Structure 1
């Protein structure tokens, strides 16, 4: 109930007049209301589900196929804006970090700044993995610098590692208020920061294995997620102001534009994967789970294919952003690579078990599922198996799955619609060529030889 009231407070304070709160914070009625540090953090948190809830992201991982208006799934060369992240959550978080007057009424200032630093790092990690080099060290300065340089992805990764470690060292005893994600629990924020470091480290496996192993073990030693109860999950509400993106698109807008992809269904159906019943509904025409070939251009309707599952499109559906199962898959891969001494098979099995528990609420039948051909762990195919099962687990966070596909090369049987391979990055916003010309051109030349193409590769994508 606490979170229900909090969402309403945030919407009120940022989009409507809240005169009843003004007396409490002694705001000059002739000036705009000034949000507290924790309100700014909470508002930034409202942007978190948007990192995952995106048709384009689902197409990059080929989880969903377009049923009627085939366009994005054909991978057109087009620009994609990152401005909303800079102008929204990142600006809010930077305001918290810059403030000398946060006050302690909502919790220790050190903890407010630590959470702002962690969230800022998490957003920037997502951005650099999608675009490559981006404005970072000179960004978020407002009118003081309207043309920030593009830092290299390598520099950004190294700085994010340091920022996350610093955030942990800043923490003091005492929770904070207005925290949507962990209800102010600083122990959870500490584990989240370390878990992000762990997953970031794994991303460097092909470009700098030594650095990857060092940072991985450092994060693991500092303490990461230990169960599904730790998951970094955004819980939508059964109300219009905070409802699931897919509910708005499918139910309220009456758009049956997305079916489960053929590849996804053909991976899950033959092994009776219990997650399939959550991911999609049986086709209405046959009562069977039928996937639609990704990039199929013939308008063939929706009755014959499995559309998004009822739980996925529910108004209050959760968005799983960083999960315990990801930690276990990461540890399984680290074991297979010889980075840690833990058993790869044990971590692989537990990753699948916790993934199924996350999605279905039960681990009934998991032992039988793990005993099937193709699912049972094979040390000779460790990286492929771990990567493929990670892909199944990351359903509906397509951008994260896409990053792992680029890093590992698995799954290796994705479609090439119209002969187009899966892109390697998002192209920069068109406006950057006019608004930040020199820095934009430098970044494009440095990374991609002057061509801002979706097939240029980011720094860590070396294969």
Structure 2
């Protein structure tokens, strides 16, 4: 079914540029305004795996170490562009919202098309602001009407995204939408996703505004969130070159053995016989054992000696997990530990790990004995640390999200500081913003970071 949707999307975009050739010869066939609402939504969905599939994200969370050409893992001060998100998915989704009155119900109820566009737009913006801080938002995506948008504060963006997500769920009606390569048009899944994003956003505010965090968290939980892996937000790659997993293209097609599991990850999982380790990495070829590589190691090494990226992870059709039930149970466990909800922190912690087992290995066999080990068992006296440590293990290959959770909680501890460089606290803005949008760029940098666009400036919620 999913492959057919990809084909339909490709053909639809092809035919729309070929119809009425004489009339449209002077019209750019690639302009988003030329596509239907559901085609634009589907095109935005194609960018979802990019939110996770990135070596840089894995380095920020110290899941993977570079085996050669060591550079990015040394945390150099460098700029990182957010333009891809604005020029791709956000532009597509904003076009849907701007053209609501002209959307065709052929693709499904218009209200549902708009609701899905709002949810995806909020999800992309949440990821963008959590990486860079203040970013263009209310004045963004206006085209020729404004080429130099102001930077909104992260606080104001969060507040608006909460409302956008609530509005999206409130406007949903019965019926599905077409061309949906994520949930196949199932609006109940979209409803749960919107509430789950709200839940995670609320938890992110635990240190900067605990009252608002609790209010938004409990409201989102009450509205219904993802509690089963069947409803996870995950991107399904295809076993073909047109839509293959990013890591497959790197490891197999380009024959790169550039990434090994870190010492820290292996040390966390191997002593407790964590079955997920066999999925996360391959045993070292030299001795068929799991051996982690010290993060940031610059000496010349042999890849035979270390556990490289797992074959299941870089399979051509390997999925990308973005929003999962295990994360939800970890969040509820933490909320319970903070006294926000009348739930059992330990029960939700245990359920989170069980859901993680099911997600990564397809089985929960041995879960009880695993949870009974002292190194794994929930520690009520150090609840936040217990939860954060196992959340980190679960979020493997979603490095940016794990990095955000580390910035918020400070756990896990014991990460490496290659050449004395600590883990960055944000991404620096695109280098050309300083002259393309200089006034607004300089104002944002001054407001947040005392005029220095460095990777160690703290975001609003990172208190």
Give yes or no for TM over 0.5. Answer: yes
Alpha-carbon displacement from aligned partner over 1:41-90 (angstroms, at most 9, x marks no partner): 00000000000000000000000000011000000000000001000000
Alpha-carbon displacement from aligned partner over 1:248-298 (angstroms, at most 9, x marks no partner): 000000000000011000100000001000000000001000000000001
Cα distance change, pair 341–436 in 1 and its aligned pair in 2 (3 A): same
Alpha-carbon displacement from aligned partner over 1:338-362 (angstroms, at most 9, x marks no partner): 0000000000000000001100000
Alpha-carbon displacement from aligned partner over 1:137-160 (angstroms, at most 9, x marks no partner): 100101100000000000000000
Aligned to 2:87: 87
Aligned to 2:281: 280
Aligned to 2:319: 318
Alpha-carbon displacement from aligned partner over 1:204-242 (angstroms, at most 9, x marks no partner): 000000000000001001110121111001000011110
2:227–2:329 contact (8 Å) kept in structure 1: no
3-state SS, counterpart of residue 303 of structure 1? helix
Aligned to 1:172: 173
Aligned to 1:66: 66
Deviates more, 1:31-40 or 1:394-403: 31-40
**Partners in 2 of 1:328 and 1:135 — Cα distance?**
33
Q: Does residue 198 of structure 2 align to residue 160 of structure 1? A: no
**Partners in 2 of 1:303 and 1:226 — Cα distance?**
40
3-state SS, counterpart of residue 327 of structure 2? helix
Deviates more, 1:5-14 or 1:337-346: 5-14
Aligned to 1:336: 337
3-state SS, counterpart of residue 106 of structure 2? coil
1:117–1:167 contact (8 Å) kept in structure 2: yes
Aligned to 2:250: 249
**Partners in 2 of 1:184 and 1:22 — Cα distance?**
27
Q: How does 1:166-245 map to 2 (within 5 A)?
A: 166-245=167-246
Alpha-carbon displacement from aligned partner over 1:403-425 (angstroms, at most 9, x marks no partner): 00000000111000000000000
1:11–1:241 contact (8 Å) kept in structure 2: no
> TM (normalized to structure 2)?
0.97
> TM (normalized to structure 1)?
0.97
Aligned to 2:51: 51
3-state SS, counterpart of residue 65 of structure 1? strand
Deviation at 1:6, TM superposition (A): 1.2
3-state SS, counterpart of residue 18 of structure 1? helix
**Partners in 2 of 1:437 and 1:209 — Cα distance?**
35
Aligned to 1:125: 126
**Partners in 1 of 2:22 and 2:6 — Cα distance?**
22
**Partners in 1 of 2:91 and 2:456 — Cα distance?**
30
Q: How does 1:427-438 map to 2 (within 5 A)?
A: 427-438=428-439
**Partners in 1 of 2:366 and 2:22 — Cα distance?**
58
Deviates more, 1:32-41 or 1:388-397: 32-41
**Partners in 2 of 1:134 and 1:325 — Cα distance?**
30
**Partners in 2 of 1:57 and 1:378 — Cα distance?**
29
Deviation at 1:376, TM superposition (A): 0.8
**Partners in 1 of 2:322 and 2:117 — Cα distance?**
17
Unaligned runs of 5+ in 1: none
Cα-Cα RMSD: 1.3
Deviation at 1:301, TM superposition (A): 2.0
1:68–1:301 contact (8 Å) kept in structure 2: no
**Partners in 2 of 1:157 and 1:365 — Cα distance?**
40
Aligned to 1:18: 15
Unaligned runs of 5+ in 2: none
**Partners in 1 of 2:435 and 2:16 — Cα distance?**
41
Alpha-carbon displacement from aligned partner over 1:408-445 (angstroms, at most 9, x marks no partner): 00011100000000000000000000000000000000
**Partners in 2 of 1:226 and 1:302 — Cα distance?**
39
3-state SS, counterpart of residue 303 of structure 2? coil
2:426–2:459 contact (8 Å) kept in structure 1: yes
Aligned to 1:418: 419
Deviation at 1:9, TM superposition (A): 2.9
Deviation at 1:29, TM superposition (A): 4.8
**Partners in 1 of 2:395 and 2:451 — Cα distance?**
33
